[in-house]
A and B are shown apart, each in its own frame.
Chain A
Amino acid sequence: MEHPREEELIAFHDGELNGRERVQEHLRTCAECRAELEKIETVFAAMDAMPVPDPGENYGQRVWAAISPRLPERQPRWWEGFLAPRRLVVAGAFAAIIVAAFIAGRKTIAPPKVDDRVDMAKVRERVLVVAVRDHLDKSEMILVELSNAQPNPASGKLVNISAEQHRAEDLLGENRLYRQTALNEGDQAMASTLDELERTLLDIANSPEEVTPARFEAMQKRLESRGILFKVRVVKQGLRERSNPAKQQPVPQRNISKTNTKEGNQV
């Protein structure tokens, strides 16, 4: 066999060459090529012998300390929070539960009589109203906490909003679900309030865990200008009144915020 070329010997050393057996066989019988391979190995051995000084255990922290003051502020794009994988997972999980419940319901429960169907629809709607009210209660708590907090701008101390942030993140998935349901039911008013609430929750969830007093104040102003707290309270009040049959007013459209209309008509 012909002597392998230098690049073939390098590839052989790297373990990459096709036809390794052929070269290996040749090396067994050819002292010249073995010496050639040895020279190549000397180069790699010398490279291996080159030390890289250890930059120290806390090197990563030092790098961070050096670059963090030079990092620009990053403003998230509104859709990035919406499309964040974790949130998609939450939304997907909700969707999966609903689909599973729907399929299970269809397969396991015998078709009810017409009267039963009306009753079941009422029950479902009532459950939904209670769930939306509970969701709005939780959202309201976050909004109140943020609106009432009074950081001292003079102190320059960062305001920690991590607790509110995590709760807002948790509420985002169900908010989307309720908004979508309201849209499907044709309840534009409810869908619109939930849409605004969603944007507010996103804003909170995407903020850093600790913000400067100035940034916190800007956030409070945004909440105030949107009037979201007031809108949430109005919707909640509406739901409360409608879930109370005694105070209920008949409303022609069937939707979440008017779920007890039928109930009221029947009373």
Chain B
Amino acid sequence: MTQMNASVESGPVTNVVPDAVAVERTLAGDRDAYRVLVERHSQNVYRLAYRMAGNSHDAEEIVQEAFLRGYQKLRQFAGQSNFGTWVYRIAANYAIDRMRQRRVEDSRRELPSRASEDGQETDPLSMVKDSAPSPERLAGSSQLALRMQQALQELTPAERTAIVMRHWDGCGIEEIATVLKSSTTAAKNTVFRAVQKLRTALEPFAQSRAKAMGTE
């Protein structure tokens, strides 16, 4: 994992206290020792949180909650892995729970509005399809990023977690399986499903790119 080995990660913190010592001191009752860990690993956790949540406000909430939970569960940490990896997993788990909860809330809110005026139910998937931008609109990279952001939001929490961990943070399948609380085969399939869905969402862009390159 490229970004999680962050015990010496650059940042504003110049403190050179190793993570293990900071954990030990925190457990011994020195609350300020935890500050070193928070300042050292916040940026890394923020990147994950932002990619999971898709916006800064939610990402910041995820980061804060991850460090709060980390402090409360610090006795369970007991040096199993490095602290950065551990708090990253807490953040990923919390982000999944949060996304699931939000989906449930959203679906409850949307239920009454699904019936159209004539009483006929509207297929929500068709609405998603209609809102997809045309290939022309996807030509610019900012539109592409926007479409990707939308496509990521449409993934299930597990799929989004899997693809974020796999692609951006370079996590191994075992690590993803741990966070998803699933088998490695299931985790592998989740990554695959996520890529497939993203492919489908970006198909118009891929086609226009292929046409431009003359390969199709």
Q: Which residues of A contact B (CB under 8 A)?
A: 6-7, 10, 14, 35, 38-40, 42-44, 46-47, 49-53, 55, 57-61, 63-64, 66-68, 70-76, 80-81, 84-86, 205-210
Contacts and interface: CB of A to CB of B under 8 A. Distances in A.
A63 B91 CA distance: 14
B47 A85 contact: no
B43 A60 contact: yes
Give 5 closest A-B pairs by Cβ, nearest first.
Answer: A60-B39, A60-B42, A206-B28, A76-B29, A42-B206
Interface of B: 11-13, 20-21, 24, 26-32, 34-35, 38-43, 46-47, 50-51, 56, 60, 63-64, 67-68, 71-72, 141, 144-145, 147-149, 163, 166-168, 188, 191-192, 195-196, 198-199, 202-203, 205-206, 209-210, 215-216
B79 to A, nearest CB: 9
17 contacts: A7-B192, A38-B210, A43-B206, A52-B47, A59-B43, A60-B12, A60-B38, A61-B12, A61-B39, A67-B67, A67-B71, A72-B72, A73-B31, A74-B29, A206-B30, A208-B31, A210-B32
Contacts of B216: 35
Given A46-B202, A74-B26, A86-B24, 20 more contacts: A6-B192, A10-B195, A39-B199, A42-B206, A46-B148, A47-B168, A53-B56, A55-B43, A57-B12, A59-B12, A59-B43, A59-B46, A60-B12, A67-B67, A72-B72, A76-B27, A76-B29, A85-B24, A206-B30, A208-B31
Listed residue (B20, B41, B145) with the most chain A CB atoms within 10 angstroms of its CB? B145
